[in-house]
Amino acid sequence: MRQAQKVPTRSPVERRLVIGLNIALTALIGDEPHVLCVKRPGGWGLPFGRFDPDEHRTFELALRDFVERQTSVPLGYVEQLYTFGDRGREAPRASLVMGDEVDRIVSIGYLALSPEAAEPSLESAQWRPWYAFFPWEDRRSQGGPLPLIEERLRAWAGTDSERLDRLAFTQGGDDLPWPEERALDRFEVMYEARLVAEAHRDRDGVEGPELYGEAMISDHRRILATAIGRLRGKMRYRPVIFQVMPDAFTLSDLQSGIEAVLGFRIHKQNFRRGVESAHLVEKTEKTVQQTGGRPAAVYRAGASSGVTTALGLPLPRFKQTAPR
């Protein structure tokens, strides 16, 4: 009944809703995660398609359809991220340029993974490294560019306790670890601290003193940040890393792939111990030697059950046999 009484009071000019599907298609090239980008008038953007309800039964089918048709890059693993629909922030430029009667665009972001960076058929499409857009997310070479940014963020926060909380949440520090999966939250903070070009583009034209990372059109950088964070987070409880790894790999390959996604280096021996105990890979008889050292055993992703846990506040897990 509720629905019925909610007859929309439309404006005189019909303004249609348009659903856009945006995809952050990720693949590893060497030791660098890349995302498929498309050159647009305003700069780099993610592959984008309009969802046509008459043509497509599901979002995912629509997505696969138009990405494969446009770039001839096949999609493997696909996962929905978030739906962005705010006006005033998402693409205010476009709205203004096209006048007030423009369609309202709602964009649904997706993450997709591919084990290989297939050559796109469109020349405007191109693989670009993640960290060109998010230099602060790559901390593999020690501290990285963080010290400078951290200083600016501290200045932004001042003594505002809410802002300081957000910094602790997004940046870690003290005895808190670096929460690598909170890439979106970090981007939001960068946005509000006006350290990324989008913040100035969306509000006023005044450029800030120093801006970090390449901008993308509309809110595509937020979508990419969401994708990065989701992938990082998911790696901890699902073997998604194998969706971007080739069939055969050494443990060092696997490790550097994971490091590339996580954005920091990890302890080699402990990593191996973890991989062994997780039973997610199988050793083959082959060995290769890509470096100057001892040849490495070649592994492949194995069929197996998944290992799981996840904690934070010291909350226990249900262990079938309840405690007393």
For the segment 163-222, give every residue that binds its own copies (CB under 8 A).
165, 168-169, 172-174, 176-181
Binding segment (CB under 8 A) for its own copies, from list 28-36, 207-215, 267-275, 287-295: 267-275
The answer to the question of residue 302 lying near DNA (CB under 7 A) is: no
Contact 204, 198 (CB under 8 A): no
- Among 110, 107, 116, 118, CA closest to 23: 110
The answer to the question of residue 314 lying near its own copies (CB under 8 A) is: yes
Query: Can you tell me the distance from the alpha carbon of 291 to that of 251, in angstroms, rounded to the nearest whole number?
Result: 13
The answer to the question of residue 265 lying near DNA (CB under 7 A) is: no
Q: Please report how the helices 251-262 and 220-235 are oriented relative to each other, as an axis angle in degrees rounded to 10.
A: 140
CB atoms within 10 A of CB 53: 8
- Per partner kind, with CB cut-offs from 5 to 8 A, the member of DNA, its own copies, none near residue 308 is its own copies
The answer to the question of residue 38 lying near its own copies (CB under 8 A) is: yes
Contact 219, 47 (CB under 8 A): no
Q: Out of 233, 252, 259, 264, point to the residue binding DNA (CB under 7 A).
A: 252
- Per partner kind, with CB cut-offs from 5 to 8 A, the member of its own copies, DNA, none near residue 43 is none
- Per partner kind, with CB cut-offs from 5 to 8 A, the member of DNA, its own copies, none near residue 178 is its own copies
CB atoms within 10 A of CB 170: 20
Q: Out of 85, 173, 274, 306, point to the residue binding DNA (CB under 7 A).
A: 274
SS3 of residue 190 by DSSP: helix
The answer to the question of residue 291 lying near DNA (CB under 7 A) is: yes
- Per partner kind, with CB cut-offs from 5 to 8 A, the member of its own copies, DNA, none near residue 203 is none
SS3 of residue 111 by DSSP: strand
Q: Out of 29, 94, 176, 297, point to the residue binding DNA (CB under 7 A).
A: 297
Binding segment (CB under 8 A) for its own copies, from list 29-37, 127-135, 208-216, 314-322: 314-322
- Per partner kind, with CB cut-offs from 5 to 8 A, the member of its own copies, DNA, none near residue 99 is none
Strands 17-29 and 125-129: unpaired
The answer to the question of residue 235 lying near its own copies (CB under 8 A) is: yes
34 is written with which tokens?
């890349």
**91 CB-near residues (< 8 Å, 6+ apart):** 105, 218, 219
The answer to the question of residue 11 lying near its own copies (CB under 8 A) is: yes
**52 CB-near residues (< 8 Å, 6+ apart):** 62
